[in-house]
Amino acid sequence: GAVVSQHPSWVICKSGTSVKIECRSLDFQATTMFWYRQFPKQSLMLMATSNEGSKATYEQGVEKDKFLINHASLTLSTLTVTSAHPEDSSFYICSARDPAGQPQHFGDGTRLSIL
């Protein structure tokens, strides 16, 4: 089945650091990928929709200059959390839509802890 790989799975770093998270579709081409964030005991919240070759579409309340998204190829989207602070600590998950149809396939997630 379709596989989405996310890297790294765990990041611990100091406040002010920028962190890049990669999301790869391993056996299919994904023109659209999605980035979610999940705080403890809360639902997954869509942050942005990443479109290959064009600008990402951000959800209301998500700062595009804070969360930089690049979708330069059909198999790779990256999310960079710039100048991360403790309040950015969360579980970040990407997903990709298999062009053969729904549903979305999720990466393993990245647990980000900012000290």
Partner 1 sequence: RKEVEQDPGPFNVPEGATVAFNCTYSNSASQSFFWYRQDCRKEPKLLMSVYSSGNEDGRFTAQLNRASQYISLLIRDSKLSDSATYLCVVNTGTASKLTFGTGTRLQVTL
Note the residues at the interface with partner 1 (CB under 8 A). Answer: 6, 32, 34, 36, 41-46, 49, 57, 91, 93, 95, 97, 102-104, 106-109, 111
| Smallest distance, partner 1 to C-beta of residue 66, A | 21
Give the residue with the Cβ less far from partner 1, 38 or 82: 38
- At residue 114, φ and ψ (nearest 5 deg) are -110, 125
Collapsing DSSP to helix, strand or coil, 86 comes out as helix
| Smallest distance, partner 1 to C-beta of residue 102, A | 6
- Distance CA(83)–CA(97), nearest Å, equals 29
- Distance CA(53)–CA(102), nearest Å, equals 22
Give the residue with the Cβ less far from partner 1, 3 or 18: 3
